[in-house]
Chain A
Amino acid sequence: MGNKLKSFLAMNNQASLVASLMAIVAGLAAGFLVLLASNPGQALGGFSAIIGGGFENGKSLGQVLYFATPIIMTGLSVAFASRTGLFNIGASGQFIVGAYAAIVVGVKCSFLPATWVFCLLAAMVAGALWGSIPGLLKAYFNVNEVISCIMMNYIGMYLVNYAITLTVFDSLKNQSMRVANSANMPKLGMDLLFRDGASVSSANSGIFVAILFAVVIYILLEKTKFGFELKACGFNREAARYAGINEKTSIVMSMIIAGALAGVGGALLYLAGSGKGIDVVDVLAAEGFNGIPVALLALNNPIGVIFAGLFVSYLTVGGFNMQLYSFAPQVIEIIIAIIIYFSAFALVFKGLISKGAGKK
């Protein structure tokens, strides 16, 4: 290999980027093998549907943006917590609690101007509250945040289901009621820009909100005093304590912020004017868990999370198209899962690159 490439790879950021790309390629290759195994005749067609599906037309592109929005937020939530040394597996619970808070405000408080702003604020507060509990338990009672987060996921899901039936229940659809129009995220004409003939996509300004949060989190972590403290705690809690940083506050604040991010993700999924409501079923919100591979793929870099989220969303949209090639929805889910699974090997590839660049 040329020396230029070596020195390019030796730089940490580039190595991270290349590692993520390599992981994606490996994931796609593995997915293709599974396609070949399950239905050799249609494998090529199905594969090209997954690869090209997101770009098929304006509408599918719009859907990519729409589906990317919530997982960028939960990905940010997980990535942010990881940077501060915590594993936030509770994004699912924070997500659904945030979604519920947004819908309640969106249905009941439609008298407020630009209701969506208040919906987002409510979602942030609810998510933050849900995240703060594992944070407080960890900081003051040394309860492992993974366990308390998982518990909070279930409590959140059941509580929201119950609360919906009490407050904003649409008994016909067995889901939450539609929010007022003013509570939906402004479309900014994106639905008309991203469409397939008369069929419009659910694209809306939510994606910009998500990108804005990613940038804010990046600046918070890299440029501020607060981020300096949080990262110090994440890397070495003892040294942070020695340096006079209050590590208990750091843990709680970190979980509050992570919870708020996931909560906003919940709001952005349901405030799209797509007619989607929270189904009253006993299933944990998948978006919360999808945040984990998104964060892994992005190597916990907030800006990387934007692209990782778009990638995972792109696969999801492409997966819908695979049904044309008579693949069962379950197989499609498996393929997507495999691609994401392999993509999470980004760290392994990063290690290999650093090693390779280190050699003469």
Chain B
Amino acid sequence: MDYIIEMLGITKRFPGILANDNVNLQLRAGEIHALLGENGAGKSTLMSILFGMYQPDGGVIKKNGVDVRITSPSDATRHGIGMVHQHFKLVHNFTVLQNIILGVETTKNGMLKMDDARRQVVELSKKYGLDIKPDALISDITVGMQQRTEILKMLYRENEILIFDEPTAVLIPQEINELMGIMKGLAAEGKSILFITHKLNEIKAVADRCTVLRGGKCIGTVDVESSSKESLSEMMVGRKVSLSVEKTESKPGKVIFEAKGLTVKNHVTGKNVVDNCTFTVREGEIVCIAGIDGNGQSELVQALTGLMQSDSGSMAVGGADITKVSIRDRDKYGMAHIPEDRHKHGLVLEYNLAYNLVLQSYYKKRFMQMGFLDFKSVYSYADRLIDMYDIRSGQGAKTITRSMSGGNQQKAIIAREIDRNPQFLIAVQPTRGLDVGAIEYIHKQLVLARDSGKGVLLVSLELDEVMSVSDRILVMFEGQLVADVDPQKVTYQELGLYMSGSKRDTAKGAENLGQ
């Protein structure tokens, strides 16, 4: 069998960490090859080496059986290697077409010749079924179309080897399906694809073979057809993991949180982004808000947590009205919040782990000594949390948070929020971008919080998560809560209908939800 790219015995060291340890990866021409591993397993390092961003400390890269040295991304492009990064490299105030030709412009007498380029791009987009608007600005188009722009960038450069770095992390279910179709089409046309992911469903859906990395080591390469999801996840994590959430029947107690007619206006358009939402969360239950991204979930959470003022309506935690209470004081009423964007809201990345673990409680008596921070108690508290919640980092409590892996950053936030012992916990997409092991851990923590009598409000875009974790599902559509259903009784199809607005729970009516 001919390999188009072989990476043999690749080793890469970073200070204090062996990111790749004698890793082998062989890519056949025309196949979709998945690279599976947890966060920090060395997937990105390996791909960065292939793409010329790092130099390996050992090992060789062969293309079509010939040794090559790839010293920069432009080198990689010359060898026909293209990459769609997880965070797109697009110029936002350029058009799609301008982005695609950026760096390889065709010119005549120093003037741009856009017509040829446009023809070529349109041809490519037709051939591979990549729907784009060549003249739309990047800032105006959807994430899915931005990704297709990135793919066209590679195709326009006539790349033969396409690397996709976690391409589905930013997409909604429909777009994921579309992308899978595109990838299959590309492979059918003879392109070879490396697909970095930790989502087993996607691997089963498109990949031919799969190489698994764990802790920087290559665990093996398997045929996807003949391996089960369970065996793949076991290879990835190194132990058996349960892909379903284990929990007992919920025993909801008294109402812990109540929102009445909550409304948030968009002050530019005047539209209600959160429209008259009324619901309750009781002790010992996980209530999930499902919906397609952008239907007002973020605004609802911001209103609940005080990051945004609500325009009308009220809310109460444990019977106390908190509608006008400040962010800090909501914490005193027993509300905790695992935010949607851990980098933007959840953490001060330049602070060390200990500082982040006391980010909301540093001012409390136990951490203060006459106006000065009591570092001894801050660090001993941090060490306790690190131990209890198994937060892994290079230098313990003193690790700068930016250098930690995404999963461990999220664990730190969860440790911090749960350890404050809230009555009411809001978790917004707590597993976004995390691997199977971390997801299992976080779901377990949410269920534990529920079982200890807390009320949990989970906001999630992932239907699997919604169905497996929650005890009750509210569906949000265009700012309104349109359904209140039992996950045991509802089907995926039905949820999809609610989420797309084609069905409403008319029997109860939005006003009476949760009562």
Residues of chain A having any CB pair with chain B under 8 Å: 10, 223-226, 228, 231-232, 235-236, 238-246, 357-358, 360
Contact = CB atoms under 8 A, between A and B. Distances in A.
A213 B372 CA distance: 17
Nearest to A360: B13
Given A224-B372, A225-B373, A239-B359, A244 B346 contact: no
B143 interface: no
Interface in B303-334: 305, 307, 326-331
A223 B373 contact: yes
B189 to A, nearest CB: 41
28 contacts: A225-B362, A225-B368, A225-B371, A225-B372, A225-B373, A226-B371, A228-B355, A232-B359, A235-B349, A235-B350, A236-B348, A236-B350, A239-B345, A241-B307, A241-B345, A242-B307, A242-B337, A242-B339, A242-B345, A243-B360, A244-B327, A244-B329, A244-B330, A244-B331, A244-B360, A245-B328, A246-B326, A358-B15
Contacts of B368: 225
A244 B358 CA distance: 12
Interface of B: 13-15, 57, 305, 307, 326-331, 337, 339, 344-351, 355, 359-360, 362-363, 368, 371-373
Max chain B Cβ within 10 angstroms of own Cβ: one of A226, A235, A239: A239
Nearest to B361: A243
A68 B458 CA distance: 58
Nearest to A10: B15
A358 B14 contact: yes
Contacts, number: 66
Given A360-B13, A360-B57, A240 B362 contact: no
A239 B337 CA distance: 12
B14 to A, nearest CB: 7
Contacts of A242: 305, 307, 327, 337, 339, 345-346
A241 B302 CA distance: 12
Contacts of B339: 242
Closest 7 CB pairs of A and B: A244-B328, A242-B345, A244-B327, A235-B350, A243-B359, A236-B348, A243-B360
Contacts of A239: 344-348, 359
A15 to B, nearest CB: 13
Contacts of A240: 348
B372 A238 contact: no
Nearest to B330: A244
Contacts of A223: 372-373
A63 to B, nearest CB: 38
Nearest to A226: B371
A245 B331 CA distance: 12
Nearest to A358: B15
B295 to A, nearest CB: 22
Contacts of A226: 371
Max chain B Cβ within 10 angstroms of own Cβ: one of A223, A244, A246: A244
A206 to B, nearest CB: 28
Given A241-B307, A243-B359, A360-B57, A235 B351 contact: yes
Contacts of B350: 235-236
